[in-house]
Amino acid sequence: MTQPRTPKDVLDLAQREGIKIVDCKFIDWPGQWQHVSYPLHEFSEESFTDGFGFDGSSIRGWQAINASDMLIVPDPSTAVVDPFCAHPTLSIVCDIVDPVTREPYTRDPRNIAKKAVKYLELTGIADTAYFGPEAEFFILDDVRFETNSHSGYYYVDSIEGRWNSGRAEQPNLGYKPRYKEGYFPVPPSDHFQDLRSEMVLQLEALGIMVECQHHEVGTAGQAEIDMRYLPLVEMADQLMLYKYVVKNVAKASGKTVTFMPKPVFQENGSGMHTHQSLWKDGRPLFAGSSYAGVSELCLHYIGGIIKHARAIAALTNPTTNSYKRLVPGYEAPVNLAYSSRNRSAAIRIPMYSHSEKAKRLEARFPDPSCNPYLAFATMLMAGLDGIENKMDPGEPLDKDIYSLEPEELEGVVRMPASLEEALASLEEDHEFLLKGDVFTEDALQAWLHYKREHEVAEVNRRPHPHEFELYYDI
């Protein structure tokens, strides 16, 4: 399907496809899609400039009730036919605009991502930042959870879960991946080959180019589907569509998908390794003659990410659950170092290809609970700060970092151990995000306030089930 680019293109597409409903989607502050739908007759070419009104005070982290009126303005380049609606529906991603000033809203994550790209162009360093996230997820059969004044629990289950190897399933056929051994087994141990392929075909039908799909390391249906890289804003749009498709395909098959970083104890968590590269005038800028075949500019970009990583974490690993994944002993990197090939490093330089166009870095600490617009923009701004200030990333660590002696790790900075630590780091180190008015002080303070009040404090106030194991008989 040819992607529409203008309002007229969208309306022509709607006529060809017999569309009855137009569904306007936008991303909220924490990173979930919200939507509102209109009959097609309410749409005209003017809708793409005038927008539609909504209550911004009802969206998490946004407007106060006394200044609640906001506008959603559809972006015609994002229109696709929604494959999951019973009635013919066109889905369009929208920007958020202040109805009084007609300026883009400073807390709209998509606007922040667009400003990051504009800043990149203004620096003259590059004109395109490519991003390629590898968002992992778990496919589960059952999930239950509740917290209240007198109880709190969660329960997840999967036909693939190794813990079910002794369950009476009448019959139990025994094909359940061992803990931490779910990477690449063929069916029948891999129960979800067909389901992942269905997800891939649905993604490709919507114009998303998929590179591969496979079972991931974790038992209980951990999965990964990799998309071809795209420019920053387009990839953030696409990642939200990816999550929407994966969840809905799973639901149609009686399964449920979670992008929580650590839903299963003592098993690998779900990361979002994020490949990044800068280009200018169609030429890749990260290829060169320095370490691992990268350019000095690339090393400075890496230096910026390592320098600011503890602050970056507040946006790339933005949940309390994120830090259950960032612990030693699993694949998630805790130590801030870079290396070629080494998957225990926070920044890896993939060595699959010697092509200049394929030269890139892979940030391995982000996870898929993030708001992709904010996460990508933050990493880009950190990398640009590294380039502008010629930040030295130090010597590479090509050994297994988890096996190093304490003296060998001396001087290697670690990722935050909690969301509280990450937020404190962001509060102390965020000047690099204010360049070019990409993030505003108001937006960052709103992020800090929301995360501390609505997530950190809420988790900290509640007794944890394991505390009863530890302390009940004191």
Q: Which of 108, 362, 367, 385 is an active site residue?
A: 362
Q: Which of 162, 273, 325, 430 is an active site residue?
A: 273
Alpha-carbon distance of 305 to 345, in angstroms, equals 13
Q: What contacts 195, CB < 8 A, 6 or more positions away? A: 139, 249, 250, 253, 255
Q: Which of 95, 160, 190, 216 is an active site residue?
A: 216
55 assigned to active site: yes
364 assigned to active site: yes
46 assigned to active site: no
216 assigned to active site: yes
Q: Which of 364, 367, 385, 430 is an active site residue?
A: 364
Which two tokens mark 282? 């169609």
Alpha-carbon distance of 221 to 129, in angstroms, equals 32
Q: Which of 95, 134, 226, 267 is an active site residue?
A: 134
Show contacts of 153-157: CB within 8 Å, 24+ apart.
153/465, 156/220, 156/263, 156/264
Q: Which of 35, 343, 414, 452 is an active site residue?
A: 343
Q: Which of 28, 82, 224, 331 is an active site residue?
A: 224
Q: Is there a contact between 160 and 218 (Cβ–Cβ < 8 Å)?
A: no
Radius of gyration of the chain (CA): 23
144 assigned to active site: no
Q: Which of 136, 190, 226, 237 is an active site residue?
A: 136
388 assigned to active site: no
211 assigned to active site: no
Residues paired with 142 in a beta bridge? 157
Which residue type sits at 455?
E
Q: Which of 12, 17, 45, 55 is an active site residue?
A: 55
Question: DSSP assignment of 119-130, as one string?
Answer: HHHHHTS-SEEE
Q: Is there a contact between 24 and 72 (Cβ–Cβ < 8 Å)?
A: yes
Identify the H or E element spanning 9.
Answer: helix 7-16
Q: Is there a contact between 373 and 238 (Cβ–Cβ < 8 Å)?
A: no
Show which residues are catalytic: 55, 134, 136, 216, 224, 273, 343, 362, 364
